[in-house]
Amino acid sequence: MTTIRSLTTRLQRVSLTRPWAADVTSVGVIATHVVRSDGAEGWGFSWSPQIGAPAVNALLEHDIAPAAVGRSAVPGEAWQGLWEHLHEAGGGGITTIALAGLDLALWDAAARSAGGTVSGSIGRRRDRVRAYGSGVNLHYPLDDLLAQVQRWIDSGFDAVKIKVGKPDLAEDLDRVAAVRELLGPDRSLMIDANQRWDLDRAAMSVDALSRFDLAWIEEPLRADDLDGHTELARRIDVPIALGENLHTVHRFGDFLRSGAAQIVQPNIVRVGGITPFLRIAELAASHGAALHPHLLPELSGQLALTLPDTASEVLVEDVEDAGFGSLGALVDPAPVTIADGWLTENAHDGLGIRFAPLLTDDPARIDDPAFTAGKDPS
């Protein structure tokens, strides 16, 4: 049996071209490297934009790496046992985010060893998948928001998503109305409240905004409010999308069984990697729910190519100027390309996601937010 010989990690931050907020100018990445007993190597990563990256790195270094050594290196075989090993620290959240670092590296190692790609090893079902334009733009003045939407139109996207949740609903109405007018009637428009509303405010807001022909309302309530989302689904006609802040297949099951979500959006890293993501995809399909992976198109786009056909077309989220390749964070060319509103896979090995090292040899400075891939602040 091929086993895990070693797992090592490197904590770093990647600067964003377009800050997601005044205090979110970079995202945290924990680059992972696994070596198998047969000498094969694989690379993966864990990810947390603002909070928790050092804690994820510590969990990988002090708890996951020692527990992983000697376990099966076959993708998926060690996942459940390691999740159970970590459960004392929580069933999801930091634990599953950290587990993704190992899981992705094991899938990468297996595909590289076989001389192929991860999507090829799973089984690619389509050659391309549609992408939608997305942005962290609630703080944008209206003119900047409309300029962003125009860039998406010019880039060939036929679906876009914007943020809502201003203190005054009238401002949300003005912004969504202006975006719909610019998009015209034939492009899809999604809105994302990022958990800003309570139940009554959500029902009132969605009712008012629904006149703009919305494809979905994303995270209208606190992400873990199962009862609230179930009741909201009864009150509104717009489909509810959520899942970026759900961390286990069990929790996705709760929301799907209750009818609280018609669209699920698992983040492949936050749920623990490719292994649990594929289980969540099967669960969503069994409930007739649409699945659109959250963020990280260089990873989620590859997996989207492997998902079975359902009644709803899979969509991949492309946040403007946030791809790791475009940010200069990768050693190799990006494994996917998004053009004319479609994502296609480029030639690459494994996952094709290896992060460029820090330009420092001083471990005491790695937690410095100024340190980013390929850039040295000194």
Q: Report whether 112 contacts 296 (CB < 8 A).
A: no
Please state which CATH number belongs to domain 120-345: 3.20.20.120
Rounded Cα gap, residues 302 and 107, in angstroms = 12
Q: Report whether 276 contacts 96 (CB < 8 A).
A: yes
The 10s digit of each residue's pLDDT in 251-267 is 999 999 999 999 999 99
Active site residue 163: yes
Q: Which of 48, 41, 124, 47 is nearest to 335 (CA)?
A: 124
The 10s digit of each residue's pLDDT in 328-350 is 999 999 999 999 999 999 999 99
Give the chain's mean pLDDT: 93
364 band by pLDDT with thresholds 50, 70 and 90: very low
Residue identified by tokens 């989207």 is: 304
The CATH 3.30.390.10 portion of the chain extends over 4-116+354-365
Q: Are strands 4-15 and 26-36 parallel, antiparallel or unpaired?
A: antiparallel
- Which residues partner with 241 through β-bridges? 218, 263
From 161, 247, 292, 294, active-site residue: 294
Q: Judge residue 288's burial from the number of C-beta atoms within 10 Å of its C-beta, 0-12 exposed, 13-18 middle, 19 or more buried.
A: exposed
Active site residue 294: yes
Report which residue type is found at 132: Y
State the average pLDDT over residues 211-222: 98
The 10s digit of each residue's pLDDT in 277-294 is 999 999 999 999 999 999
308 band by pLDDT with thresholds 50, 70 and 90: confident
State the average pLDDT over residues 43-72: 97
Residue 213 has pLDDT above 90, yes or no: yes
The 10s digit of each residue's pLDDT in 111-137 is 999 999 999 999 999 999 999 999 999
Rounded Cα gap, residues 11 and 372, in angstroms = 10
Rounded Cα gap, residues 376 and 378, in angstroms = 6
pLDDT of residue 19: 87
State pTM to two decimals. 0.92
Q: Which 3 state secondary structure label does DSSP give 201?
A: helix
**DSSP codes of every residue in 206-237:** HHHHGGG-EEEEE--S-TT-HHHHHHHHHH-S
pLDDT of residue 358: 55
Q: Judge residue 108's burial from the number of C-beta atoms within 10 Å of its C-beta, 0-12 exposed, 13-18 middle, 19 or more buried.
A: buried
Angle at which helix 297-304 crosses helix 274-286, to 10 degrees, equals 50
Q: Which of 235, 187, 252, 196 is nearest to 215 (CA)?
A: 187
The CATH 3.20.20.120 portion of the chain extends over 120-345
Residue 43 has pLDDT above 60, yes or no: yes
Rounded Cα gap, residues 210 and 310, in angstroms = 25
pLDDT of residue 164: 98
The 10s digit of each residue's pLDDT in 7-37 is 999 999 999 998 888 888 999 999 999 999 9
Percentage of residues of the chain with pLDDT beyond 70: 94
Q: Which tokens hold the place of 15?
A: 């600067």
Rounded Cα gap, residues 289 and 246, in angstroms = 16
Rounded Cα gap, residues 50 and 39, in angstroms = 35
Rounded Cα gap, residues 238 and 218, in angstroms = 10
Q: Are strands 336-339 and 342-345 parallel, antiparallel or unpaired?
A: antiparallel
pLDDT of residue 22: 80
Residue 311 has pLDDT above 50, yes or no: yes
Residue 152 has pLDDT above 50, yes or no: yes
pLDDT of residue 21: 82
pLDDT of residue 317: 97
146 band by pLDDT with thresholds 50, 70 and 90: very high
Residue 378 has pLDDT above 90, yes or no: no
Q: Which of 196, 84, 62, 182 is nearest to 133 (CA)?
A: 182
From 163, 229, 247, 292, active-site residue: 163
Helix (H) or strand (E) holding 57: helix 53-59
Please state which CATH number belongs to domain 4-116+354-365: 3.30.390.10
